[in-house]
Each structure stands twice: as C-alpha cells, then as structure tokens.
Amino acid sequence: MTITNGLLLLRKSWKGLSVLSRMRRIAFSGAVGAASTVLGSSALFTAAAAPNPGGDASFPPAVETFEYPNAAKILKERGIALRKGDGHILLSDCTATTDIVVWSSRIEEPNPDRGQYCFKVTGSGKAGYLSLEIPKVYRIATGDYAVRASLTADGKTQDISVAKNDGESVGQGTATPGSPTVLVELRVTG
C-alpha cells in the first residue's frame, strides 16, 4: 500500500465518519426536540390545570345559592317574592304556559298580572322546587303536573296537594273562608 493509497483510504473513511457523525447529530437533535415538545406541552397543560393554592381574590369560588334570578326586580314590578328554587319552576307569562296557576286577591297597580301568576315547569317534570311568597292566595290550579303547595295563615303552615289538570281553593277561596293565605312553597310531585 502506498502512501497515496493510504491517504485516499483515510480520506474516504474520514468522509464516511463525518457523514455518519452528521446523521447521528441530526437524529439526536430530532429526538431531543421531540422529547422536549412532548414534555414541554404536558408540563404546560399541567401548569394550566394546577389550582392556585393562595386563591385569586378577583374570582371568588362559584357556589350555587339557588336564589331566584332577578328576584328584586320581580318583587318591584309584579309584587311577589321569589326566593329560591332548583330552576324547574319558573315564573312565566300566562299566555305562554299554565303548568301551574296561582290566583291572588292582591291586585295592586301597575301589576300586569291582575292577581294571576303562572309558572312553567322545566326539565323532566318529575321534580321541581320554588320557595316564594304570594300573599292572599285563594286558588291553585295545575296543568300536566301534580303539585304540593305550602301555605301559611295565622302563623300555621298547611300543605295541600293538587293533582294533574286539577285545582284547589285555599284560604279565603274555600267554602268557609279563612284568614288571608300566603303561598310559600311549590313542589312538582309528578
């Protein structure tokens, strides 16, 4: 072997080594890049989902109080107090629904209801709850849902059941009129 042939062979092997070395570097950097992408994105999602142990004063925790929305406005405009509920009994326009109708002898201007309050039943219709206050109630009627109503008069509470598509007279609407009755609770029972 001559020196020229040896140098030529060494040069070929050096080129082969450098090509192989470059390929290894590219493969290694690609693997490192892929791993950092995977690990970096999972760390990003983990960090985004981690709760703030100190809390954030600008965002109070969401706690459902079941208070009726716009209750103060309804009291002012319609003269009845809607307190709390599960969202399955909603005050409605009597031209839209008559799932539950409550009649009251309390008619004050400019009350658009003229003593008649209608409620819509939402959801499955198997359950619903609303705490409210409608004074001087004398009749409760139902559509497709049975209802249990709690009323107070003279400091005593009375529960009545009203079957589907039926009505019940209460308080001053009964055969032997009693004291003015306040409707304090409605429950859909089926």
Average pLDDT over residues 37-49: 48
| pTM for this entry | 0.63
- Tally of CA atoms within 13 A in the half-sphere of 173 that contains its CB: 18
Q: For residue 49, is pLDDT > 70?
A: no
Please state, in angstroms and rounded to a whole number, the distance separating the CA atoms of residues 114 and 80. 12
Task: Give the pLDDT confidence score for residue 15 in this predicted structure.
Answer: 52
Q: For residue 40, is pLDDT > 60?
A: no
**Is the N-terminal amide bond of 180 cis, ω within 30° of 0?**
no
Average pLDDT over residues 176-180: 76
What's the order of all strands across the beta sheet hosting 116-121?
89-92, 116-121, 100-104, 137-142, 167-169
- Tally of CA atoms within 13 A in the half-sphere of 104 that contains its CB: 25
For residues 66 and 92, which has the higher predicted lDDT (pLDDT)? 92
Ranges 5-9, 26-30, 58-62, 161-165, most confident: 161-165
The CA radius of gyration of the chain, in Å to the nearest whole number, is 37
Task: Give the pLDDT confidence score for residue 42 in this predicted structure.
Answer: 47
Task: Give the pLDDT confidence score for residue 179 in this predicted structure.
Answer: 79
Task: Give the pLDDT confidence score for residue 188 in this predicted structure.
Answer: 96
Question: Where do the domains of the chain lie?
Answer: 1-63, 71-188
Residue 159: band (very low, low, confident or very high) from pLDDT cuts 50, 70, 90: very high
Average pLDDT, the chain: 76
Q: Which residues pair with 133 in a beta bridge?
A: 81
Residue 175: band (very low, low, confident or very high) from pLDDT cuts 50, 70, 90: low
Q: For residue 43, is pLDDT > 50?
A: no
The CATH code belonging to domain 71-188 is 2.60.20.30
